[in-house]
Structure 1
Amino acid sequence: MPSLQQYHTFSLASNCASIVEFDSVDSFLQAYNPEVNTYILGGGSNSVFLDDFEGVVLVNKIKGISHYDTESHHHISVGAGEDWHEFVSLCMQNGWFGLENLALIPGSVGASPIQNIGAYGVEVHSFIDSIEAILLETKEPFLIKGADCQFGYRDSIFKHALYGKALITKVNFTLPKAYDVVASYGELSAIDCPNAKDIFNKVIEVRKAKLPDPKQLGNAGSFFKNPVIALAHFEELKCHYLDIPSYPVSENQVKVPAAWLIDQMGFKGKALNGVRCHPTQPLVLTNIGNAQGNDLIALAKEIMNSVESEFKITLEPEVRLVGREGLIQL
């Protein structure tokens, strides 16, 4: 059985029946068999193979970037297998601004709409015009407008109505030429008169300082979502935790940083066998050597149970956890 260790950034030792890389729609259609248990993978930064997968893993390597501009916008079509950060870097080089807050997020372009990736006050859905995909059941191509993708916080239609039913082949972005940078979040607010490239460079600097490089230390980025709770719940917590941070979501809801909650429970730097809660960013769980899937599950559940017990907040994994037969839930 071929090894999956190099195909997912958490780098747990795991295998599968076979691995097939495809670089076009035709090569995908030749490889895909609906009667075989199949997992479609992009860059592997948001999937963790906890055990040997009893099926076929198909790896999306569809490449290609094209651009045209109008008086008001840049229009960019990007193959789903392109590296996300390399694409953002290309945008910066060409003066196509808007995605700078999302620099250095690991993974592929095709995964970005599934997860509706976001960072520093920006989510990718704001710039997605449409998505090109293949319906797995019929093998027919289709196009879905960004406005119809049901984007939410780390959420999209690809996790619901289209879950397991579509392969994303291309993402079409529209970036406005008249664009105000978003610099109100965290360390970005300290930049004087920031432009897009200032933000791009600062985001990279901060992420490198806080987050481990998966090429050096196995990890899948932020393991948990930042929970969204009722404002009344937050006000109650604030009576006991005066410094609890939050970000407004709506009139009646706020987002609380999961990293703060985890830190309060003393998990920063804590290790369980081969898995550790990162010392500088407790939202990231890392593979410190010879980790097993059960180790990761055990530490994740311990964190979730502690936060639930103390704050009455349920943490949800942001990463996709893959067991022997497919995705599993904690």
Structure 2
Amino acid sequence: LEKKQEEGHISTLVSTTLESLARKARSLLAKFGTTMAAIKPASFYPSLMGTLTFNVHTGVSSTEAVATQDLGTANVEFRHYIDHAFLAGLEGGQEMLASLTTPRPPCTELWGTKRMSGNERVVGMLSQPLHVSFKATRADRMIRKSDMYLADVLVIDSLPVPLHVSVQGLEATGAFTSEQEREELYRAASDFSRKPTKELFPEQFHDHPYWGGPGGYGPNTSVLGNIATVGMGGVENLRQELLSARSPDVSTPRVCAACLERSVFLKTCSRCKSVWYCSRECQKSDWRRHKGDCVSA
């Protein structure tokens, strides 16, 4: 009888322990499963229209770079990208790489570069906005430079281009300082004579799989997902639509500078009025990153 009671006690103990372990396993699975589901790759889907020319400033040097951009694409991505090797080769670039932060939202890969073996690795995110100068050729052929600060710049291990700028991101973060600046950038971005071909970029990028190099399946030659099609009004109509674009009104969704969620119920930073937040918590969490820009503004 004592033996049976002991066996029953052991059986109950084992059963209770297994149930406890099962609960913990389900909890961990739910926790990490949610985390993994939230980590989505960043996406590279450049416009098939024009490229943009910038000077990239590191604080100690200034280097010209041709950049792809996303105006008119069906891709929703508000972050900008810079090639790791390109940045490392700039005077002052190594110091910027030494202070990289964790990407927001979290991501470890970049999708869309045509590499058959997988996606590109995201090295990290610049801890401070990247200072660039947009170079626009006006109607009188004079060159005009406009200073901009690119927030949320991902450093990519092997990007097909030196720099990729999200026009959607510029609009969302209020990077344009004037309507003229916006129009000049839109005009350049819709210039088909400067459409992205590998010859526009330094030779070191020509062998990338995106441009048809080893291990890839060729450049993007389709206009699917791009509004630049004759069937949707023609090139000239498209150009006029782009140049007539204006700042979003109060009913247009903006993007929270901290969590990147879109909403029409955002409040601006009370000091500089240049960034938006969906909650006080997001504003507080983003203050360390935004403080330098806010003070300078």
The normalised TM-score by structure 1 is 0.24
Instruction: Say which structure is richer in strand.
Output: 1
Instruction: Say which structure is richer in helix.
Output: 2
